[in-house]
Amino acid sequence: MKRVFNFGAGPAMLPEEVLRQAQSEMLDWHGTGMSIMELGHRGEHFKKMAEQAEADLRELMMIPDSYRVLFLSGGASTQFAMVPLNLFHDKKIANYIDTGIWSKKAITEAKRYGQVHIAAQSYLENGVWRVPEESAWNLHADAAYVHFTPNETIEGIEIHATPQTGSPLVADMTSVMLSKIIDVNHYGVIYAGAQKNISHAGLTIVIIHEDLLRELMPPVPTLYSYQLHADNHSFYNTPPTYAWYMAGLVFAWMKQKGGVTFFAESNQRKSKLLYQVIDQHPAFYKNAIHPSCRSTINIPFNLKNDDLTTLFLEEAAKNNLSNLKGHRLLGGVRASIYNAMPESGVLALADFMRYFAKKYGS
């Protein structure tokens, strides 16, 4: 058997310890004589597991009691609609910060339900992308909410500070939830598809302040209501049970390793190492993001000689460094280094990048 270092952006690498535990529990979960996939979600066994997973997530992120945690399906993309459908009511305008492809998808969806005001947009200057300083954001004062994407998974652009806004702050944290310390108190809604840093595909976690819960009117489908899911503890219909269970294993693994602080520090070291190699070979590699907003989690870069990209990817794969191909819209290379990517994987990639630049650089 061989395990590679998987730098894919999502579905992404999971911790080997977690996969082994899931494997060992596959046929007989906790003496039930069946796999957890085969358990009814309303039974005592599943309920206990589900509650423990939520309790562990609350502990990891220090989520206050005034917030509900929802375990939903539909992916982060469904949240692009659920957010406006639930948060637009008397106010029908929302501020959106446009920093990349995922922001734009959220914006396109929100426009179907209300007015979108683009308060700030990333821009290209001297060949590098940057996000305007928060003081330069042109926020509409009387908006229902402010939506932003703290980490643009595709471009590798991150807003490192938490914006201070008058209206409720909504964040698509699909690629950063649990990878750094955040203060939940600053947010109205946090959502994340699980397949990047939390579990496998199929689960979406929503953390929402209870003041934002309200009843929705037809023709909005029942299942698009946050309040409905909150009232039913995410058991209105069948939740993605196996993904919920895997998330629970990941939360327990994180706690045992030292919680979010441990991973935040490790992710800082990991990203620093890769940016260092890129910056030390300016004639060979290039990352097109201003240092102030470089992502800690998704590190895209190009080879100055693009003809070498295919060879780079092939040779990397031979060295067990997999899924480094950049997003189909951008090309180049992208290393996604979520919590499950050990520092040894990033060290191996950094070594390979140095070797490759030396071998093929002029």
The answer to the question of residue 165 lying near ligand PLP (CB under 6 A) is: no
**Residue 260 and residue 61 in contact, taking contact as beta carbons nearer than 8 Å:** yes
Instruction: Single out the catalytic residue among 29, 56, 98, 102.
Output: 102
273, with CB counted inside 10 A (0-12, 13-18, 19+), is middle
Sign of CA dihedral 96, 101, 102, 104: positive
Which token pair is 320?
């067990």
Among 182, 185, 189, smallest CA distance to 145 is for 189
Burial (CB count <10 Å: 0-12, 13-18, 19+), residue 183? exposed
Taking CB under 6 A as the criterion, which residues in 102-141 touch ligand PLP?
Answer: 102
From the list 29, 98, 180, 196, the catalytic residue is 196
Strand runs (DSSP E) across 140-225, as ranges?
Answer: 146-148, 151-152, 157-158, 169-172, 189-193, 204-209
Query: Least distance to ligand PLP from the beta carbon of 39, Å?
Result: 25
Binding to ligand PLP by residue 159, rule CB under 6 A? no
Q: Tell whether residue 191 is a contact of ligand PLP (CB under 6 A).
A: no
Which one of the spans 57-65, 89-97, 170-178, 221-229 is the region binding ligand PLP (CB under 6 A)? Answer: 170-178
Q: Which of 84, 163, 188, 193 binds ligand PLP (CB under 6 A)?
A: 193
**H/E stretch holding 302:** strand 298-303
Cα angle 334-340-341, degrees, rounded to a multiple of 5: 45
Would you count residue 153 as binding ligand PLP (CB under 6 A)?
yes
Site string for ligand PLP, 86-105 (x = CB under 6 A): ----------------x---
Rounded to a whole number of angstroms, the minimum distance from the CB of residue 177 to ligand PLP is: 10
Nearer to ligand PLP, 158 or 352 (CB): 158
**Residue 244 annotated as catalytic:** no
77 binds ligand PLP (CB under 6 A): yes
Tell me phi and psi for residue 331, to 5 degrees: 70, -160
Q: Is 243 in the site for ligand PLP (CB under 6 A)?
A: no
Among 75, 114, 259, 361, indicate the residue that binds ligand PLP (CB under 6 A): 75
Strands lying side by side in the sheet with 285-286: 285-286, 298-303, 333-336
Least distance (Å) between residue 362 CB and ligand PLP? 36
Smaller CB separation from ligand PLP, 149 or 234: 149
Smallest distance from the beta carbon of 101 to ligand PLP, in angstroms?
A: 9
CA within 13 Å, CB half, 3: 10
Buried b (16+ CB within 10 A) or exposed e, 149-159: bbbbbbbbbbb
Which range binds ligand PLP by CB under 6 A, 14-22, 71-79, 219-227, 285-293?
71-79
Report yes or no: 339 and 177 within 8 Å, Cβ to Cβ.
no
Active site (catalytic) residues:
102, 172, 196
Interface positions with ligand PLP (CB under 6 A): 10, 75-77, 102, 149, 153, 172, 174-175, 193, 196
